[in-house]
């Protein structure tokens, strides 16, 4: 049984990781800025507090798209120096196994066949920040698994505190609950692999229990491969059934998508069954509509 430090333990992926660790008999040391963490810690500070003894680190608080858009320079600095300080603090506390939750965007444009043998080609600011953090882990050279999920979905404990509504697994169900209409600005033909936080968490916890060393990449691949428009139609259909009203999808973008469709795959064993995308949609539409009703 391991003692595992988890950053972002109150967040979307971190909460699933913390639950997954506890379910398998491990103990969790929650690290983060907010109240309710075992150790209060801000990766933008130059000096981090010493951590109590731990066996492993799972870093689920990498940069978010929102953070990058708000202050790109600060996000880059946190990705480099914040990650380095976090790794140093974890290593000093005894952590010998580490997991970093990165992003599929590190591969570059999300089109065509992508597996772990493909070279990285981070182009967006968001992708660059995740790539920087990956490389900081890589040079530390502890036993490390880097996970690069694509479109992550999962249950939200507290809807009101969630800050990442720009992600379509969340914004589309909410749009159905609030207005019955999903508006897509592009053509909606981009394909995404939708993966549950339970799958990402399982692959993170697996690695804590493994013996393999070195820094390795893993694509957590969910069972749902849909275009953005197909996902929207699924939200409209399931949400409409649940709410008993007619819902619809409006697509503003015209023309063909030139890029080949995404085939997001793993050659390293990252395929895993988990909570279904349909369950996620229904639950989230229900939560959002109840919130709207009580607001």
Binding site for its own copies (CB under 8 A): 72-73, 76-77, 80-81, 119-125, 128, 132, 135, 138-139
User: CA-based Rg of the chain, rounded to a whole angstrom?
Assistant: 19
Residue tagged 């990781």 (tokens)? 17
**Min separation Cβ 15 and its own copies, Å:** 30
**Min separation Cβ 100 and its own copies, Å:** 15
**Min separation Cβ 114 and its own copies, Å:** 14
Angle at 203 between CA 199 and CA 204, to 5 degrees: 115
Rounded CA separation 236/223 (Å): 20
Task: Name the DSSP letter for residue 254.
Answer: -
The DSSP result for 24-60, as a single string, is TT-EEEEEESSTT-SEE--TTSSSPPPPPP-SEEEE-
Residue with Cβ nearer its own copies (76 or 282): 76
**Min separation Cβ 187 and its own copies, Å:** 21
> Encoding tokens for residue 229?
């428009």
The Cα-based distances of 31 to 58, 142, 152, 168, 190 in angstroms read 10, 20, 22, 27, 35
Residue with Cβ nearer its own copies (135 or 271): 135
> Encoding tokens for residue 82?
């914040």
**Min separation Cβ 254 and its own copies, Å:** 23
Residue with Cβ nearer its own copies (82 or 154): 82
Residue with Cβ nearer its own copies (16 or 106): 106
Residue with Cβ nearer its own copies (39 or 217): 217
Q: Packing angle between helix 168-179 and helix 277-294, nearest 10 degrees?
A: 50
Residue with Cβ nearer its own copies (119 or 255): 119
Task: Name the DSSP letter for residue 199.
Answer: H
Rounded CA separation 262/278 (Å): 21
**Min separation Cβ 43 and its own copies, Å:** 13
**Min separation Cβ 142 and its own copies, Å:** 14
Angle at 163 between CA 190 and CA 216, to 5 degrees: 60
Residue tagged 């990705």 (tokens)? 79
Residue with Cβ nearer its own copies (125 or 230): 125
């Amino acid at each position: 049984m391991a003692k595992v430090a988890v950053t972002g333990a109150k967040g979307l992926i971190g909460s699933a990781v913390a639950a997954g660790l506890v379910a398998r008999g491990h103990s969790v040391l929650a690290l983060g800025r907010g109240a309710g963490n075992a150790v209060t810690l801000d990766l933008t500070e130059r000096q981090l507090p010493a951590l109590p003894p731990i066996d492993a680190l799972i870093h689920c608080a990498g940069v978010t798209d929102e953070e990058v858009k708000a202050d790109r320079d600060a996000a880059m600095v946190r990705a480099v120096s914040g990650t380095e300080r976090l790794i140093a603090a974890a290593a000093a506390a005894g952590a010998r196994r580490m997991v970093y939750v990165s992003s599929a965007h590190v591969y570059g444009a999300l089109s065509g066949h992508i597996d772990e043998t493909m070279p990285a080609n981070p182009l967006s600011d968001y992708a660059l920040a995740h790539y920087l953090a990956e490389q900081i882990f890589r040079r530390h050279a502890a036993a490390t698994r880097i996970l690069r999920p694509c479109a992550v979905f999962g249950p939200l404990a507290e809807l009101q505190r969630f800050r990442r509504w720009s992600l379509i697994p969340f914004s589309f169900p909410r749009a159905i609950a609030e207005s019955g209409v999903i508006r897509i600005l592009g053509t909606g033909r981009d394909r995404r692999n939708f993966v549950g936080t339970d799958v990402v968490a399982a692959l993170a916890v697996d690695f804590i229990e493994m013996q393999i060393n070195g820094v390795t990449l893993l694509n957590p691949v969910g069972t749902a491969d849909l275009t953005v428009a197909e996902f929207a139609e699924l939200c409209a259909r399931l949400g409409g059934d649940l709410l008993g009203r007619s819902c619809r999808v409006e697509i503003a973008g015209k023309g063909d998508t030139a890029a080949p469709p995404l085939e997001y795959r793993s050659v390293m064993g990252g395929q895993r069954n988990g909570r279904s995308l349909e369950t996620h949609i229904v639950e989230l539409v229900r939560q959002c509509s109840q919130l709207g009703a009580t607001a």
